[in-house]
Structure 1
Amino acid sequence: MDLLALADFTLVARHEGFGRAARASTRPKATLSRRVAELEASLDLRLFERGGRALKLTEEGRALYARTSRLLLEMEEATAAVASGGEKPRGRLRISAPLLFSQIAMGKVAAEFALAHPQVRLEVTTEDRAVDMFEEGIDLVIRVNPAPDESLVGRAFLHDRLVVVAPMGLERPAKGAPVPAVVRSAADRSGWNLKTAQGPVTLEIEPVLGLSSLIMVRDAVRAGVGAARLPISLVSHDIADGTLVTWGDVDAPDIALWALYPSRRLLSARVSAFLDTLKRAFPQGTFEELAAYVGR
């Protein structure tokens, strides 16, 4: 396949038109049009819809652009790194992170990264869903307890665990009596299985409030509405100062936050630098470090 034709296709797709691409690259518009047409002929695919004023990618064109744009960018960066005698983080870095971590820590992590690497344009989106990194152009994702995925590599950088906490004055009820509970979903009515010093305990719950954010759940528990299951990093300060009490650990796998990137790509300087930022923020990866990092 002609790499120059791929590069010209990517240029036109990025600028959404032959005229704009020609002006940006100072190359003849006719040359760009000819090379894209040759690429379409070699692939036996139509990559652009050419009707009207706007030039739009076809479905096949979008799929090709999603892949070639990243590969060509890596080639450009590698060439620039060799020419400059060393690879420095620069360019665009897109990260997807889960809601809770974004709310309590990502702003500070992102700020530290931006100050250390001013030539990188960092963009962070908040997604609890498993984004398609290849289709959506994401360089790195942070996921909670991710399922094995051969297309991704990375490491766990933080560990946490769930506990049941309650406001001072709300006593753990006798066996069989329901607990007024603040839950992530009002439809959640299953019991809570706990690990305590006295052995396993199952608590029946009566949801009194359903909220979509764990930050809101914690604040409702602080206000005295009921008990809740929460990451200990989110409530360790409240437990330490006696605002909340813990009834035990939830009998569930510990929480692990992973930073993942595509295995088929070279590890870029941007991604490597962000991984280093996470390592400096959480050197041991414990919930105590996260709680201390976030503060009150």
Structure 2
Amino acid sequence: MNLLALADFNAVAVHGGFGPAARALDRPKATLSRRVAELEEELGVRLIERGARRLRLTEEGQVLHERTRGLMSEIQEAGEAVASRAPVPRGRLRISAPIVFSHVVLCKIAARFALAYPQVEVELVAEDRMADPAEDGFDVVVRINPPHDELLVGRRILSDQRWLVAAPGVPRPDNAIAQEARGVRSETDVDMPAAMTAASSSATPLPAVVLSAASAESLWTVKTDDDTVFAWAPKPVLRLSSLLMVREAVVAGNGASLLPKLLVEQDVTAGRLVRWGIATGAPVEIWALYSSRRLLSAKVRAFLNMLQDLPSQT
């Protein structure tokens, strides 16, 4: 049996069609179709129903997929195990990371890595969805505050904060809740006091720019440099689908917003934005993760090592 054709057939089955598989593998769709047709001819059976809107395996195709996909994964892992012993990182390195982190931080690291390791082909995909390393073919996925997952291991590469910022000309409204919140000092006291909860309905509205997909928050609670805790009830004046667009709108004076420090720190330093406070609560943690089922290859190890020095590089 042609193992290359079998691998292409399993890829089409896993990704749910020739088009998605071609995009995931960066291979021509026609090549995948030809390989599957050759496999069908070799076996003398139809494996995939053509003409359907969605991919549908025949009974024979389903049996072949279930019996061989595990074997193909073991073959791939065996090859990666051998490659991991190579002294020089090589091959293709695919990375999935959140859009803001990719644009602000990771693109610089990827460019530096490509120069340091010319035998590695780097592909960085900026996306906010939760990509799966095994199913989507990524070597590394970067996630914000990831939940525990036994199938993924990795390293915390950075901590971040959420800053409440606005343009210099945007007035900061008075807020009665701030007076009741004064004196909150320790981190254990940073959680919203009962008085703030009770007064949330009477909080002064704060014109705000928010993510369109974000759930509405009853209050934005931030601590200022003098340890005073303020809380406002955000009133959305503009909803946008990307934090990059939210930043642009805030710089333009449309309202205040809670944004990652990584995204707006330079704006605050340059005077384009004013920081009103830092969001209370646990810090934001950024992790680089990879499949626990695969041995750590030389290219992934080298990339993680470069990320480990991230605070001093950015």
Q: Same fold (TM over 0.5)?
A: yes
**Aligned residue identity for 1:129:** R
The alpha carbon displacement at 1:128 in A equals: 1.4
Cα distance in 1 for partners of 2:72, 2:90 equals 16
Correspondence 1:161-180 to 2 at 5 A: 161-175=161-175, 176-180=203-207
Is 1:74 aligned to 2:54, yes or no? no
Correspondence 1:121-160 to 2 at 5 A: 121-160=121-160
* Identical pairs, percent: 42
The answer as to whether partners of 2:133 and 2:139 remain within 8 angstroms in 1 is yes
Cα distance in 1 for partners of 2:259, 2:272 equals 15
CA distance 1:194–1:268, shift in 2 (3 Å): same
Alignment correspondent of 1:107: 107
Cα distance in 1 for partners of 2:119, 2:63 equals 33
Alignment correspondent of 2:209: 182
Per-residue deviation, residues 127-186 of structure 1 (Å, max 9, x unmatched): 212222222222210000000111111111011100101111323211232211111128
Alignment correspondent of 1:195: 223
CA distance 1:125–1:178, shift in 2 (3 Å): same
Q: Which has the higher contact order (CA 8 A, sep 6+)?
A: 2
**Aligned residue identity for 2:47:** F
The alpha carbon displacement at 1:20 in A equals: 8.9
Alignment correspondent of 1:48: 47
Cα distance in 2 for partners of 1:242, 1:234 equals 14
Cα distance in 2 for partners of 1:244, 1:19 equals 56
The alpha carbon displacement at 1:5 in A equals: 8.7
Alignment correspondent of 2:193: none
Alignment correspondent of 1:26: none
The alpha carbon displacement at 1:65 in A equals: 6.5
CA distance 1:9–1:81, shift in 2 (3 Å): same
For the residue of structure 2 that corresponds to 1:48, the secondary structure is coil
Q: RMSD of aligned C-alpha atoms? A: 3.5
Correspondence 1:1-296 to 2 at 5 A: 9-10=6-7, 16=32, 33=42, 48-49=47-48, 58=61, 68-79=71-82, 86-175=86-175, 176-185=203-212, 188=216, 190-196=218-224, 197-280=226-309, 282=310, 285=311, 289=312, 293=314
The alpha carbon displacement at 1:104 in A equals: 1.6
For the residue of structure 1 that corresponds to 2:237, the secondary structure is strand
The alpha carbon displacement at 1:233 in A equals: 2.1
Give me the TM-score of the superposition, normalised by structure 1. 0.73
Cα distance in 2 for partners of 1:237, 1:81 equals 39
Q: What are structure 2's unaligned runs of at least 5 residues?
A: 12-30, 176-202
The alpha carbon displacement at 1:16 in A equals: 3.9
Alignment correspondent of 2:14: none
